[in-house]
Structure formats: C-alpha cells, structure tokens
Amino acid sequence: MLLFFIRHGQTTANVKDQLYGQLEYPLTSLGRQQAQALQPLLEKFCFDRVYTSDLTRAVETAKLAIPGCAPIQTPLVREFDIGSIAPITRGDFNRLYPQVGGDFRPFGGEDIPAVAQRLRSFLAMLENDPVERVAVFSHSGTLKCMVRLVLGMDIHAARLQNHNCNVAVFRHTAEGWQLAAWNLAGQL
Amino acid sequence: MLLYLIRHGQAQSNATRHYAGQQDSPLTELGREQALALRPLLAGLRFDRVYCSDLCRAGVTRELALPGVEVTETPALREYEMGSLQGRYAPDVRKHYDLSNLDYSAFGGEDRTKVKSRLRPFLEEVEQSGCECVAAFCHGGILKTMLTLVLGDELPLGRLYNGNCNIAVYEYKDGQWSLHSWNAGCLAQTLPLTREEGL
C-alpha cells in the first residue's frame, strides 16, 4: 500500500509564522492555489481512499486537490493540540518556551507519544483495509510524527523541509512502513 | 542552491537482483523508459552544471533524461565498490549478511567512511561553485550516503525506498544542507516501483 500523507495549504496563521495547534484558521488564496496545483499529480494515482484531518484547512485542501472526492474526516490525523498557548508566533514560542520540545501537556495539549498513539491507530485501520493507494490530508506536526514513527528517530527541522502541500509517500510492506517519497510535487 | 541527485534507471543487475557495485551493467528496457520519463520533469530546470558518475548506467540515464548538455564525469559519484560481492545474487547474500548500513569492507569493498571521503570534495566543489542549480547522475549508494550526511548517520536506511530514477533534491543555504525532496522522479510518473537491489 502507498500512503500519500499531504500537508494542507498555506493558512492565514502560516503567513504570520504562528504555531496554532488545533485552532481553526482558513486557507489563504495562495493556500488554495497550492492545493489546486496538486491536482495533476494526484489524479494520476486514483486513490482507493481519501482521508483528511477534520480541521477545516485540511478538509478544504483535500477537496481542492482531489475535486469530487468525499474525504473521510478523522480526528486521528489532526495537528498536535498545543493547548492554551495557541496561537503564538514561532519567535515568541522559541523565546518563551525553549524547553518544551514536543511536550505541550503543561498547556493542556498533547505530547509526542499521544500523537504517535493516534497515528498508530490510524495506520492500524489502514493496515486492515486491503487497498493499494490511500491519501490523507493532515498537518506538519502530524507528518513529522509519522516520519518519527517510521524512521524511529527525530530529524532536526532545519534538515528536513516541510512546506505547505508537501506530499510525502509511505509504503507498507511485509517488513513494515518505509519512507518512499518526500515533497513529491515540489520544484519539478 | 539546489542539488539534484538522480539515480540511474533500472539496470540489468537490478532486474536480476545481482550486486553490480563498480562493475557496469546496461539499462533494461524499463530503465530506459524510466530515464526518458524524467525528461519532461527536468526540461523545465536550468542546470548550471551537470555531473555524472563515469559508470555507463548513469551516463546512459543522463543521455536519455537530459540530452544535449555539457557533462562533467567523475569517479567520485561512482557506486560503492562492493569487492567480491560484485556479480553475486543479492537474496542469497542477504540470507547471511545485513548490508543495509552500506559496509562492504568485509568483501574488499568500500564502507561509508570511504565513500563519504570521496563525496566531500565533490560537495565542497559544488558548495563553492556559485551555481544555483546542479544535477548529479549517480547511484543508489550515493543517494543514501548523502541522505545520512544531511539527516544523520543513524538513519535506518532499510526504512527508505530508493527506487531507480529517484531524484533527491537538497538545498544548500547559509552553509547548511537540507533535504528538499526524495524520490520526486519515477514515483511522480507512476511508473511501477522497482525492487531495491543490493542496498
């Protein structure tokens, strides 16, 4: 099975370089363009299933990127809940909370194991569904958590670019999940 | 600056599941098809410089994927020398040896330290070139080694799909490399994923 794990398009909060967790912010017009620009790539793959995080930015990206699909909405692939500090600019976050890492529990949010657990539930659901090609529209933190699950290690954010409408591809084999592609639609 | 590392198309050794290493092996029909499928992807890019491993499976891939350009051939981009493994049937070897960490020294071949030491001067040349966009046609082992250089030595290479005509794009900015894209090549063309060989 190939799992296309796709980050939503640019939101109004992305423009301000904010961390905003599960707060709802709409796509900008650039974000909608980015989603539409995925159409020619994604229509070649004829997905058996299309899932999306139930946050609006992901649902909208899904409907623009794969017109006519009725994506299955699931909270399992929502962004990290970062709790009461949302929204916060990245600069303020780095300055005020340098020790947080991925652990937002002090703010009533989630930590990495919690997000990993719901991702595992999502993957278990897919593994029990014998189809070939699945797309899921989700978020940057969730996607990085997926990478962590598959590779078993943290990758420094500065070394792995994770843009809006990044299309990452994971491949499920008898030996487990592999990273098959990153930023499939980018710059080519 | 963007560096496009491009793995050659399927070679006969890939199809028959034999280690080729620095022995040459011609492209199969599928390999030629994969290389040709790269042409429209690459045609829109303006490469300031094009490098190529001096092994012919990389050279032929380049001719089909990016014809009519000036090319610098270099042995620095060659696949791992795999010593006595070269020509051997991979599934048999894999029953006894785990080679996912790219260490062929037990067979008289290269290990990752050796290959990194021949890659570094190549990367420095690219870094100092002042180019904006560089292509390098090479091999699976080189693509994987570059990935560990950027993402870390502990990267579990067995958890990565590294297909023929994989295009890995790296960005060099403010003295640092980052991964921009992986396998943005054949997969984008929905050609069948080829089995990984030897690595």
pLDDT in tens for each of the 188 residues of chain A?
999 999 999 999 999 999 999 999 999 999 999 999 999 989 988 899 999 999 999 999 999 999 999 999 999 999 999 999 999 999 999 999 999 889 999 999 999 999 999 999 999 999 999 899 999 999 999 999 999 999 999 999 899 999 999 999 999 988 899 999 999 987 55
B98 has a pLDDT exceeding 60: yes
Helices (H), A44-176: 56-65, 90-96, 112-127, 140-151
How does the average pLDDT of chain B come out, rounded? 92
Per-residue model confidence (pLDDT) at position B198:
31
Q: Give this prediction's pTM.
A: 0.94
Contact list in A for residue B193 (CB cut-off 8 A) is 171, 180
Contact list in A for residue B134 (CB cut-off 8 A) is none
B197 has a pLDDT exceeding 50: no
Which of A159, A181, A187 is the closest to B182 by Cβ? A181
Per-residue model confidence (pLDDT) at position B121:
96
Q: Which two tokens stand for residue A66?
A: 């794969």
A39 touches chain B (CB under 8 A): no
Per-residue model confidence (pLDDT) at position B199:
32
Contacts of A107 (CB under 8 A, 6+ apart): A82, A83, A84, A85
The interface predicted TM-score (ipTM) is 0.92
SS3 B53: strand
A46 touches chain B (CB under 8 A): no
pLDDT tens per residue, range B22-58: 999 999 999 999 999 999 889 989 999 999 999 999 9
Parallel, antiparallel, or unpaired for β A88-89 and A18-19? antiparallel
Per-residue model confidence (pLDDT) at position A175:
87
User: Cα A176 from chain centroid?
Assistant: 20
CB pair distance less than 8 Å for A161 and B156: no
